[in-house]
Amino acid sequence: MVAYKKLRLSGRKLPDIERFFREKLNPLYKAHYAIWVYWWPLWRSLYSGQNIQRKWGQFNLAKEGQAFLDYGCGTGWFTIPVARVVGMRGKVYALDCFHRQLQIVEERSRKKGLTNIETMLSNSNTGLPDESIDTVWMCDVFHEVEQRRAVLEELHRVLKREGILAIYDGMRDRVLSYTAGLFSLTGRDGKLLRFTKIR
Ligand SMILES: C[S@@+](CC[C@H](N)C(=O)[O-])C[C@H]1O[C@@H](n2cnc3c(N)ncnc32)[C@H](O)[C@@H]1O
């Protein structure tokens, strides 16, 4: 399990031995890198991204001034536009378990002049205060998460009382067996499920 770390990843140097194993020897790392760093953002730009983003309005997911957690943010396809929506009075927490994704999010936000994005390296805990987040956005991440119930418990903890959890995932209805007792379903459209907290 990757321990929770809140860090500015740009300029972070991996120790040489760790870099050697991760980037030169490990074919799984290379495959992961190719899929998530190159192929996935291309897929988002060419096809799926705009359609998904249109649902934000329909489900009232992003508003000016909000604290927004993009859980499993990848290279930031949704992080960047939502940072513009929440604006300088709001904040976007971009969390992923793969450090290279977060480096890219940071590079992209710097280029776009966005200063309201904070990256977080974690595969479960957020380190955020209780009831501090308005919306948690989990897009095409849930099926990849190993500790699904533990992650949902953490999201329940950090969401405000009236906060929204939005899960877009190919697991569709199977997500409900994990959310039971923590969240109630308040809307759905295809793969998008919208929840509020059960207190
Ligand atoms: C298919 S990509 C989706 C990226 C982005 N949400 C999007 O929709 O474009 C899934 C992302 O979830 C991350 N991920 C998988 N399991 C995770 C976990 N347990 N905690 C945090 N991130 C996770 C992966 O590293 C990857 O960046």
What amino acid is encoded at 149 in this protein?
R
Cα 151 from Cα 1, distance rounded (Å): 12
pLDDT of residue 116: 98
pLDDT of residue 24: 59
> With a 6 A CB cut-off, is 101 part of the ligand 1 pocket?
yes
Q: Which of 105, 179, 184 is nearest to 142 (CA)?
A: 179
pLDDT of residue 188: 96
> With a 6 A CB cut-off, is 79 part of the ligand 1 pocket?
no
Name the DSSP class of 49: H
73 CA to middle of ligand 1, Å? Answer: 6
Question: Which ligand 1 atom sits nearest the alpha carbon of residue 52?
Answer: 8
Report pLDDT digits (tens) over 11-26: 445 555 556 556 656 7
pLDDT of residue 23: 61
Retrieve residue 7's tokens: 């860090």
Cα 120 from Cα 2, distance rounded (Å): 11
pLDDT of residue 41: 77
pLDDT of residue 121: 96
Instruction: Kindly report the backbone phi and psi dihedral angles of residue 151, in degrees, each rounded to the nearest multiple of 5, phi listed first.
Output: -65, -40
Q: Which of 23, 35, 28 is nearest to 74 (CA)?
A: 35
Q: Distance from first CA to last CA of the chain, Å, rounded?
A: 28
Q: Which residues of the chain have pLDDT under 50?
A: 1-12
Fold that domain 3-197 belongs to in CATH = Rossmann fold (3.40.50)
> With a 6 A CB cut-off, is 90 part of the ligand 1 pocket?
no
pLDDT of residue 158: 98
> With a 6 A CB cut-off, is 169 part of the ligand 1 pocket?
no
3-class DSSP assignment, residue 74: coil
Rg (CA), the chain: 16
For the entire predicted model, the pTM comes to 0.86
pLDDT of residue 18: 57
